[in-house]
Structure 1
Amino acid sequence: MTNSFNILLVDVDRTLYPFECKVWDAIGEQIHLFIQKKLSMSNEEARSLRIALRDKYPTTLQGLHNEYGVDQDEYLQFVHDVDLATFIPPNPDLASIFASLPQRKVIFTNSTRFHANRVMDFFSIKPYFDDVIDVTMIDPYTKFEKEAFPIALELLGNPPPQECVMIDDEDQIICNAVSAGMQGILVNKDPQVNSNQHVQIPTINHIKEALEELSEKYSSLSQV
């Protein structure tokens, strides 16, 4: 049944590893440190600026780039340079899970190719992914904006969107994928974040069951 979908778009942060891991907290600290150094601010000033930029822009990076001319690549390389092994537990089953899935698999992330490759290397899953679509390739958008998804489809070679599945921990991102004609699987333990009754799993290790459920759901809708 999983052959109903030909392309899996897989998020990185808090999707390939558990939501409760503190990787994103560490990246947040790197963001504050970057702002401090780049703009010669105190820690308190940097934190206040980040809050202000996040209220005004989809990401801190967009705000820093638009208002302070910060170089995108310099920022992304700096903030994602964290020790993954300190925060992420091993997942020895993940490689065999992805190896068993027949679909084309592509990382689609709001972070960088550098960071995505590091996470894939950590889990030994890079051989099972054809490519990475990172945040620089959908600029000036992120996955939190609907405009990112037609760009991603074009980068994939314009496949039929209904054959693509976005796998992510953010409900808004799944909604944006669905609005572009794709299917979606939400990877999140909290059922309250699922605002649109998406197929939902607690961890990425349940992806095969989720694809079966999604395939059955899609087949039943197609027959209506």
Structure 2
Amino acid sequence: MSHIYEKMIANPKTVTLFFFLLLLFIIIVFIVGYYAWQHHTAEVVTYEKQIQAQTAEGIELAAKVAHIEMLESQLKDASGQITELANKPPEKVIVTVPYEVEKTVVKEVAAKGADFAIVTDSKDPEKEVNIKEITKLPENTPVTLNQYNVFAYKKVIRGINVYPSFNGIKPTGIGEITGDVSRKISNDGKYIGIVGGYDFDNKKVKIGLRVTF
């Protein structure tokens, strides 16, 4: 073990790379832990009146319950889409028993990759869904509900960056190309990921950490 340590000290580049990778590992572990804690304490399903779900205020309420931060423009867009969907046939019809409704809704949120969902009564827009009452109904009781999955942010974003070379102010070709893949780490749209590329001017491969906020 001492031999390896001495060899690392003798090569500054190896030491620098080691500590960079160690720091990167610590940052990723911390972020993943924080992300997992957020999702553990969040409620991804909110039960509302149909008329409430069609307002920005209704979307904001459901977003807060799910620990999701949305811009005002996002709230308006989401409420407008729910208003349009309310008058259209459902994309998917799921048949289940009353006591499994809540689990089924949560499962669909995960399957669709949505940030959260709003569930409303399909027949009475003025009535708020009471999930506790529904779960107590007899198994053969038909229940029809609307589920609106809300996508606030993409789970993964990808990017390609191209930088030109210059001779003074005149472009002479491609100087550098990088690509990155980042995953959402917070409910307010922050991302962390890996970026890699090639610097043609200096003939070097580059790799690093990207944080988007």
TM over 0.5: same fold?
A: no
Determine which structure has the larger strand proportion and give its number.
2
* TM-score grouping bracket, smaller chain normalisation: under 0.3
Q: Could you tell me the TM-score, scaled by structure 2's length?
A: 0.23
In our comparison, the structure showing a higher alpha carbon Rg is 2
